């Protein structure tokens, strides 16, 4: 699926998918403002806008769209922050609503990412897998690159689909995209921890083969989030190794980014 350029507008939107105000800019033409919805049956965006006293509907295929400007759903930022702070269960209702109502309208994939994380944190891997499948069905690239990929990989790890996970990690590492490579390396560390025992060797291997490599080698700005993740995961490993000072150093570095 073509990736759209998107302006993220931090204002509240109407709750119904049938009345989401925004603007759509075609590849060859001026922006069209009005109520925007996605029609899954025909796979087109529909913009309803007034021309004089007449309501006119225009349809656009994703390949014809240069940019979508859709207001952020009310409360989305707060829900995402809940997930990041380990309180994802409370965010599940709102995130589920956004995923359902904003289908293909810019905000469904960011919400889906954190909804998957929330379900995983709540121990509901099957629910997380249901959500993840809807995303990768629309965008196959989301399996191995972009912000959604690490969440999808966690689903595969939790559900034991290791052959598919390994294939996607290799694909991510071979894209030439440094962010995808960094994310894949972090996932390698997660696999080491999941498959190894609760031993110093396991934690040291995760550190040297994955997390510390990301922290030390991926210093460019696009890899900032992956690096912060690596530092946090490294801190957890140092905690397990009884190295509190090094763990605190890792957390301090992550917080300062």
Tell me the torsion sign for CA atoms 201, 235, 112, 137: negative
pLDDT tens column, 62-105? 899 999 898 888 899 999 999 988 888 889 999 998 888 888 88
Q: What is the band of 205 on the pLDDT scale with cuts at 50, 70, 90?
A: very high
DSSP 8-state secondary structure symbol assigned to residue 251 = H
pLDDT at residue 141, as a whole number: 93
Q: Nearest to residue 189, comparing CAs of 139, 226, 161?
A: 226
User: In 3-state terms, what secondary structure has residue 202?
Assistant: helix
- Whether 13 has a pLDDT exceeding 60, the answer reads no
CB 176 within 8 A of CB 141: no
- Whether 17 has a pLDDT exceeding 70, the answer reads no
pLDDT at residue 136, as a whole number: 92
- Whether 134 has a pLDDT exceeding 70, the answer reads yes
Write the CB contacts of 79 (distance below 8 Å, at least 6 apart in sequence). Answer: 91, 94, 95, 111, 114
């Amino acid at each position: 699926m073509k990736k759209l350029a998107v302006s993220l507008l931090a204002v509240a939107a109407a709750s119904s998918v049938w009345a989401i105000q925004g603007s759509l800019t075609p590849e060859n033409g001026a922006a069209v403002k009005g109520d925007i919805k996605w029609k899954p049956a025909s796979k087109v965006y529909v913009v309803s806008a007034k021309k004089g006293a007449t309501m006119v509907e225009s349809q656009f295929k994703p390949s014809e769209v240069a940019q979508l400007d859709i207001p952020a759903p009310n409360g989305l930022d707060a829900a995402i922050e809940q997930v990041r702070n380990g309180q994802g269960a409370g965010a599940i209702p709102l995130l589920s609503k956004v995923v359902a109502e904003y289908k293909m309208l810019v905000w469904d994939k960011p919400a889906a990412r954190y909804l998957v994380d929330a379900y995983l944190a709540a121990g509901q891997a099957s629910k997380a897998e249901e959500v993840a499948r809807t995303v990768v069905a629309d965008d196959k690239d989301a399996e191995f690159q972009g912000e959604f990929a690490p969440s999808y990989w966690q689903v595969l790890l939790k559900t034991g689909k290791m052959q598919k996970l390994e294939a996607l990690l290799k694909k991510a590492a071979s894209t030439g995209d440094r962010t995808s490579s960094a994310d894949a390396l972090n996932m390698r560390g997660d696999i080491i921890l999941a498959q190894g025992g609760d031993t110093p060797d396991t934690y040291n291997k995760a550190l040297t083969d994955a997390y510390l490599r990301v922290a030390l080698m991926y210093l460019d700005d696009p890899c900032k989030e992956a690096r912060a993740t690596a530092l946090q995961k490294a801190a957890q490993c140092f905690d397990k190794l009884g190295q509190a000072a090094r763990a605190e150093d890792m957390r301090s570095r992550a917080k300062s980014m």
